[in-house]
Amino acid sequence: MANLSDNPKHRPWWTQLNGYHWFVMIVASLAWFFDCLDQRLFSLARNPALKSLMPGAEAGEIQAVGKEVTALFLVGWGIGGMIFGALGDRYGRSKMLTVTVLLYSVFTGLSFFSHYYWDFAIYRFLTGVGVGGVFGLAVALIAETVPDGARAGALGTLQVLSTVGNISAAFIKMGIDNLEAGGTIAPGNGWRWLFLVGALPAFLVFFIRGHLKEPEPWLKLKREGRLPTGGIFAPYAALLSDKRWRHNLIVGAIIASTGVVGLWAIGEYAVDLQRIVFRKHFEGLGMAPADIDKAMNAAVSKAYLLSMVGAALGMSFFTWLCGKLGRRASFAVGFTSAAVITALVYWKMNSPMDAYWMTPLMSGAQLGILAGFAIYLPELFPSRLRSTGTSFCYNLGRFAAAGGSFFSAALAKGAYGQFGSPVMERYSAMTMCAIYIVGIIALLWAPETKGKPLPED
């Protein structure tokens, strides 16, 4: 009887990759790494930038505009995903990945030169267009290049490595803060240098253009003349005209939107609550006003780094769970955990010590789900429509998350008080956790893809 270990599918996924597979993994992961770096640099620089660009504005007004700029960034992200997903199916994944990396790098760098909040918002919108295209193209490249037995592990690892981009952003922010405190950078301008660092991924384009090939399934379709033709919306028409792909598109979009809204319209604002409760905590300790900001920033940075450790562990666990329980059961566990843990964190977090153990749990639950998107979404569509379908599902949630940001602001102003209030931050976020119920219901119609090859027509 043959040993199961003789079958490549039963070996650890990383042992099934050859040199070129690893090259594709590294390039796609770097593109997503820098994408996530850009997202996090924006989150860290958003309020300092608006404070500098809106002199005399009150803290509540800055926070309100910050949510609006975030919403515009997410709208750009969604539009970019829709456009470049379709272009990736028509013209090639590697070509379009080059364009998206260059796009978000250039407009991130141009944010350095912002003079007003409105041109800053425009740069963030255009950066979002580039950022939005990366995910669908990167996962399509990996899914169609690596062996079937390595696909789930490789795609889950792509998301795990995104936490490295987030952590790198935190260390870059600390370094810039130190330079600003030491006088090397003019006071109030540290945020500009954060965005200049975010322009560095443009150099990745040289590696993508010279060595990254289109995956064989896409090249086969090109040789056979079966790639989408017509206008930019032709791939969407093809998805919607076929009952199977239309069903998968709707279900995948609802599931992905649930996780994206949960992260960007709820989890993303945990730092706002931390700053409020941390300040109150340090004031209660009798700390001198001059020392409170320094202590608060240090506590927020520590909580963030711990949360990224939790995110990496959560993504790794979710990847393992997808292989053991299947995709549907894993999402059911993930959505339930994210709803319960997020609500408890916003309800009970009252000090830095609370944040040090609560936010890693919340990030593990919220971001763990995203590893499932990288694994599951490309398994729902055929090669000729894979980039379009994956990008649509993943990025439709950006529009929902943008709406969630506005809705969260409406809750804050109307039902729960004013911006900057801990009551607002807590209860608007807890109310938004109901979004996870939508994802759980959608799983009733979700196809199970565990152990199956990538679908084709």
pLDDT digits (tens, 9 = 90+) for 107-125: 999 999 999 888 999 999 9
Distance from C-alpha of 271 to C-alpha of 65, rounded to nearest angstrom: 16
The predicted structure's pLDDT at residue 377 = 95
User: Which pLDDT tens digit goes with each residue over 150-178?
Assistant: 998 999 988 888 888 888 888 898 899 88
Residue 451 lies in a domain: no
Residue 5 lies in a domain: no
Cβ-proximal residues to 109 (8 Å cutoff; 6+ apart), any chain: 195, 196, 198, 199, 202
Residue 144 lies in a domain: yes
Query: Contact, 277 vs 117, CB < 8 A?
Result: no
Residue 217 lies in a domain: yes
* The total number of structural domains that make up the chain: 1
Q: CA 252 → CA 84, 112, 255, 335, 452, distances in Å?
A: 18, 37, 5, 14, 17
Q: What is the pTM of this model?
A: 0.84
Residue 8 lies in a domain: no
Task: Kindly report the CATH number assigned to the domain that includes residue 238.
Answer: 1.20.1250.20
Pick from 135, 175, 128, 188: nearest CA to 158: 135
Pick from 360, 365, 361: nearest CA to 303: 360
What's the rounded mean pLDDT across residues 12-34? Answer: 90
Distance from C-alpha of 390 to C-alpha of 380, rounded to nearest angstrom: 8
User: Which pLDDT tens digit goes with each residue over 175-233?
Assistant: 998 898 888 888 888 999 999 998 888 888 877 777 888 999 999 999 999 888 877 88
Reply yes or no on whether the pLDDT at 373 is more than 80.
Answer: yes
Residue 412 lies in a domain: yes
User: Which pLDDT tens digit goes with each residue over 47-67?
Assistant: 889 989 988 877 767 777 887
Residue 411 confidence class, pLDDT cut points 50, 70, 90: low
Distance from C-alpha of 151 to C-alpha of 109, rounded to nearest angstrom: 34
Number of CB atoms found within 10 A of residue 125's CB? 20
- Domain boundaries, position 143: 18-445
Residue 10 lies in a domain: no
Helices and strands per DSSP (H, E), number in the chain: 17, 0
